[in-house]
Amino acid sequence: MIQSNTDGNPAPSEYSCHSASDHGACPSCASGERLGFRFSYAYQPIVDINHQQIFAHEALIRGVNGEPAPSVLSQVTEDNRFRFDQACRVKAIKTAAKLNMQSKLSINFLPNAIYRPELCIRSTLEAARAHNFPIEQIIFETVEGERISDAKWLTEVFREYQRIGFLTAIDDFGAGFAGLNLLADFQPDLIKLDMDLIRSIDQSRSRQAIVRGTVGICNELGIQVIAEGVETPDECKALRDLGISLMQGYLFSKPLFESCSHADSLAWPGGLSS
């Protein structure tokens, strides 16, 4: 189990990666170095509007007192990037299990921080086992807008994650460096459409055409589509009419610090019955 020291600070296992064995483990995994700063999470629901259920919660970095993400991310450097990525996974799972989260859990990861996916995933697997959180309920998502030093490397990481049993997702799809080229080489389980495509989509024929085409491609490839950044009932209805049922945004709920949502507490827009 991951515990706290007597002084109330996190134990080394929560903010370091030292789970891989010395035989073939990557150096950062084996070192067990401390991260050097603390953080927590807020959780925002991803909803299924057709069934008015919560599909997943995305874990969003916050300071220990709920401070916004930049207060934490500003402390991430090239030297601690890997340890931060590993600590994020463990903390997100631990907190979700403590909240008795019943939905899927979506965790952002840093592909450029991965050394060898089959070895560096061990801390995640150990955290899932320690807290009885099913690995098939864990989604790993990476931001398409982050420049990936090697796209083939990202594909290799994702394929290893799928082999183990995790779900995979591309965030901010349509706003980054990979786009359709990535889908040609690898099909994640989910893509999350960039919120700039979603904004005022009910009033934009061009956005509707782009999203309709993307949904068609994803349906053919067996990829589920999530619309993120949904803020108005009209956007929600337009997206549903385009064949999207999974959505995330302030229309339904803001991120909740160290808490998760329940379907009966969400602000479901009216007029969505089939």
254-268 pLDDT, tens per residue? Answer: 999 999 999 998 989
Where do the domains of the chain lie? 27-253
The pLDDT value recorded for residue 186 is 86
Place domain 27-253 in its CATH homologous superfamily. EAL domain (3.20.20.450)
- Contact between 12 and 31 under an 8 Å Cβ cutoff? The reply is no
Q: Can you spell out the DSSP letters for 108-159?
A: E--GGG-S-HHHHTHHHHHHHHHTT--GGGEEEEEETTSPPS-HHHHHHHHH
CA 34 to each of CA 1, 203, 241, 252, 273: distance values in angstroms, whole numbers, following the listed order = 18, 50, 49, 37, 51
3-state DSSP call for residue 147? coil
98-157 pLDDT, tens per residue? Answer: 999 999 999 998 777 776 777 678 889 999 999 999 999 999 998 654 555 556 777 888
CB atoms within 10 A of CB 230: 26
* pTM listed for this prediction: 0.85
196-228 pLDDT, tens per residue? Answer: 999 999 999 999 999 999 999 999 999 999 999
Would you say residue 15 has pLDDT above 50?
no
Bridge partners, residue 140, by sequence:
107, 168
- Contact between 207 and 229 under an 8 Å Cβ cutoff? The reply is no
